[in-house]
Structure formats: C-alpha cells, structure tokens
Amino acid sequence: MTTTSTPAVPTADWVEPAAMPADPYPTYRRLLDESPVAWVPSLGRYLVTSFAACRAVEEDQETFSANVSGGAATLARALGARPMLRKDDPEHAGERRAVNPVLRPKTLRARWEPVFERNARTHLEVLRQRGPDDADLDRDYAGPVAAQNLIDLLGLKGAGVADMQRWSHAFIAGTGNLHDDPEIWRRCDAARSEVDALLDELVPHYRAHPDGTITSALVHGGLPLPDVAANVKLTISGGMNEPQHVVTGAVWALSRHPDQRDRVLADPALWPAVFEETVRWLSPIGMYPRETTRPVVLQGVPLPAGAPIGVVVAAANRDATVFERPDAFDIARPRQPHLGFGSGVHLCAGHWAARMSVGEIAVPLLHADLPGLRTDPRRPEAWHGWVFRGLTALPVSWDA
Ligand code: HEM
C-alpha cells in the first residue's frame, strides 16, 4: 500500500513575543537554524526568516498578497484607508508611480540635498548647545532632523517637528495595535483628524500650485482624494522613525567599533558602507505582513490559503548562508544586497532619500563637526520594539 503524506509544518511554540523587545536576535537565530518557515502560535502567524524565503515571498505577490485581512489589517485601520503598501499591482503601481519622481536620485540631488543639509546643520547646533554632558542624540538630533526632512519632502506646510512626531508615533502605535487598545486608537484617530484638516487646506493649494513635493505629486497623480490622504499618512508613519533609528544606530555601532570609526573618519568614501551595514545589522523594520491567496509550498513548508505571514527581514539580514559572520558589524564586508528596505514591488519608496539624508549627510556631518563623538556610558540608553526597532534614548558625548 502506498500513502502520500503532506510534509509537517514546523511549529515554533517556544517563541515569546514579550522577550523580543529586549533583544529579538536570539529568537531569529533559533528560527533560522531550526525552522526558517514556521507556524508561531504565540503570534498567530507564520514567520519567514531565511533570506531565500523572504525573497521568494516578495517575488510572487499573486500568491503572497500585501492586502492582508483580519487582525493583520491594522495599518488600514490606523490610516483610515488602504495605502499603496497594502495593495497589489496594478492598483499599487498606479499610486507608487505618482510618488517615484519626487524620490529619484537626480531629483534628490538637485532639489533636496540642500534641504537635508540645512535641516541637519540646524539641529546639530541644538545638539551642540546641549553640550557633551547632556546631549541625547535621539531627542536633540536624529528625531528632529528626520521629522523636518519628512515635513519638507511631503510639503506639509504649517506642520512642526512636534506635530510630525505625534502623528507618526500615533500611526505606528495604531499599526501595532493588534490587541485593540482603545487609548491607542483614540490617539491614532486624533492624529488622523489633524492630518485630514491640514490636507483640506493643502490639497486645493497644491492643485493650483504644483511644487514637486510628495503631497503635490499625489494630488497631480490622478488619485482620488482618499488615496492621496492614505498615502500621505503612510509616508508620515513610514518615513520618519526609520531614518531616525539609522542615525542613532550608526553612531551606536561606530562607538562600539572604534577601529571602524577611525577607518571611516580617515576615508569618508566609506560612509555609504556604514549606512548599508547599519540597516542590515539593526534593521529598523524587523517584520512586515503578507497573506497567502492560495495554498502554496514555501521552501518545503505547506501553507494554506489565507495564511497570515510575517516577513522577518531583520532575521534574513543575519542569514549565515548569505552573510559571512552575520552577527558582526563590519563595514568592510563584501557588497551584498540586504533586505532592510524590503524587496520586490514594495521596495521602500524612500530608500534613496534615506541613503542621502542619513548616510551621506546626517551621520557624516555629526562626526565631522563633533570630534570624538561617542555614546556616553554615564547615562542610560534605551531600545524599543522588534517589529519596528531602534534606540529611543542615546546619550552622547564628544571632546568639547
Ligand atoms: C532607513 C530608512 C528606511 C527604511 C529602513 C525603510 C524600510 C521600508 C520597508 C522595509 C518597506 C517595505 C515594507 C513592506 O513591504 O511592507 C518600506 C516601504 C515604504 N517606504 Fe520606507 N524605509 C525607510 C525610509 C523611508 C523614507 C525616508 C520614506 C519617505 C520619504 C519612505 C517611504 C516608504 C513608502 C512610501 C513605502 C511603501 C512602498 C510601496 O508600497 O510601494 N521610507 N520602507
């Protein structure tokens, strides 16, 4: 008698979400070693951790849809509508096409490089005024620079750094609000109303006066108003925290590797490598969701239709089959694409903007202007999160 057997689905019942904000990397290491595609009961989803499996998901959006449903649809709930990030092509492509011209390297160089530089210099002064015994790189520099850059790119005239930070944090908290905390939804809904009120003024303005900002481009991209608003809010929630976390992450990493810091100070051509290695090593977006549209076998593991998936790019960026000594921070490692900006059709729309504003400007300027810049062990630093992860406090010092 012959029997056909379906391969078993690996189950990682040992994953403890509560332990991950302290340090998610031991969990990722064990998932990578034991079961790179696994059902994780405590998260109610399949986690995909290997580089090959994450790439396979992104190469097939017909099977692995970004239009997730049920409890995973928090982004659409937070923003009030589905933005491009939760649509598949061709719907997604129509919206993405509208913003791409603003964020291309040539446009960034001509139009935005001076703006990024001005914003970095303005807040460098604030940091310097705080002084080497009191300065916090996140509070005084990384946060405000990232917020102001995004206000300018979006063309949100009238908004200030504190507004942008409040909105972005509220939308991100809403996106992570898997347990429906009413207070988080209240703050999120308030932020949405504020942004909608601002757009009520700005949309007619940009209709009459196009100016090459993201909001203007969306207005002129043929999108209905709710889609313009959803994508402005998507950019508010996705375009601030990550650059902020890479600024602090890069300084933290270089402080722990003074030999590499000396090397880049002696050879500024290495700054882009510092940026890429920081995004790989400390991926600010750790995981994002997808959902299967049909039964499929992924890297030998059978998944049903409608399976909720977590694409764990932070784990894939430490996959030893792709990166030598994956847990080491090494700006001299062979050039190898990482997944910190995602991949496939949803590859981050702002990756060139982040490379320029953070990798070429915000981080090098700090080190050039504050000799001996380093983290300050006298005062505590703080990390937050794993789905979105970064430093929320980073005391720094320098040679005054
Ligand atoms: C180092 C900084 C950044 C990192 C690590 C990052 C990471 C990512 C990742 C992983 C995705 C894909 C998520 C998914 O597929 O679910 C994404 C998408 C996106 N990002 Fe970024 N991002 C950064 C900066 C920015 C900036 C500065 C902007 C805006 C100016 C931006 C705008 C967007 C948009 C609009 C999307 C959606 C793209 C689409 O659906 O086609 N990001 N980002």
Which amino acid is located at 269 in the chain?
A: A
Residue 9 falls inside a structural domain: no
Residue 336 falls inside a structural domain: yes
* Bridge partners (DSSP) listed for residue 291: 65, 308
pLDDT at 72: 66
Domain range for 304 is 17-385
The alpha carbon of 353 is separated from its chain's Cα centroid by a whole number of angstroms, namely: 13
Which atom of ligand 1 lies closest to the CA of 99?
35
Q: Within 10 A of 13 (CB to CB), how many other CB atoms are there? A: 9
Q: Which residues line ligand 1 (CB under 6 A)?
A: 84-85, 96, 153, 234-235, 238-239, 242-243, 246, 279, 284-285, 288, 340-342, 346, 348-350, 353-354
Please give the tally of structural domains in the chain: 1
Mean pLDDT computed over every residue of the chain = 95
DSSP string, 270-334: GHHHHHHHHHHHT-SB--EEEEESS-EEETTEEE-TT-EEEE-HHHHTT-TTTSSSTTS--TTSP
Exposure on the CB side of residue 238, measured as CA atoms within 13 A: 25
Nearest CA to ligand 1 atom 11: 348
Residue 12 falls inside a structural domain: no
Smallest CA-to-CA distance from 192 within 157, 224, 237, 153 is with 237
CB 170 within 8 Å of CB 187: yes
Percentage, residues of the chain above pLDDT 70? 98
The values of phi and psi at residue 279, to 5°, are: -65, -35
pLDDT at 71: 65
Nearest CA to ligand 1 atom 41: 346
Is pLDDT above 90 for 12?
A: yes
Residue 396 falls inside a structural domain: no
Residue 305 falls inside a structural domain: yes
Tell me how far apart the alpha carbons of residues 290 and 88 are, in angstroms, rounded to a whole number: 11
Residue 394 falls inside a structural domain: no
Nearest CA to ligand 1 atom 18: 348
Q: CATH no. for residue 281?
A: 1.10.630.10
The torsion region of residue 222 among left (phi > 0), alpha (psi -120 to 50) and beta comes to left
CA 289 to centroid of ligand 1, rounded, Å: 14
Nearest CA to ligand 1 atom 22: 348
CA 307 to centroid of ligand 1, rounded, Å: 24
Which atom of ligand 1 lies closest to the CA of 96?
41
Which atom of ligand 1 lies closest to the CA of 289?
16
The set of residues, in sequence order, having a beta carbon less than 8 Å from that of 131 and lying 6+ positions away, is: 400
Give the Å distances, CA to CA, from 398 to 304, 368, 394, 395: 55, 11, 13, 11
Q: Identify the weakest region by mean pLDDT among 57-61, 112-116, 178-182, 194-198.
A: 178-182
Strands, DSSP E only, in the chain? 37-40, 45-48, 64-65, 288-292, 296-298, 301-303, 308-311, 374-375, 382-384, 390-393, 396-397
84, 151, 348, 361: residue to mutate for ligand 1 pocket, most atoms within 8 A of CB = 348
**Of 15 and 72, the one with more pLDDT:** 15
Tell me how far apart the alpha carbons of residues 264 and 257 are, in angstroms, rounded to a whole number: 11
Residue 313 falls inside a structural domain: yes
CB contact burial 270-297 (16+ within 10 A = b; e otherwise) = bbbbbbbbbbbbbbbbbbbbbbbbeebe
Residue 245 falls inside a structural domain: yes
CA 269 to centroid of ligand 1, rounded, Å: 25
Work out the pLDDT band at 286, boundaries 50, 70, 90. very high
pLDDT at 69: 86
Smallest CA-to-CA distance from 122 within 161, 78, 180, 172 is with 161
Is pLDDT above 80 for 117?
A: yes
**Of 71 and 386, the one with more pLDDT:** 386
CB 15 within 8 Å of CB 40: yes
CA 201 to centroid of ligand 1, rounded, Å: 26
The alpha carbon of 393 is separated from its chain's Cα centroid by a whole number of angstroms, namely: 18
Smallest CA-to-CA distance from 278 within 290, 266, 270, 289 is with 270
Which atom of ligand 1 lies closest to the CA of 231?
35
The alpha carbon of 348 is separated from its chain's Cα centroid by a whole number of angstroms, namely: 8
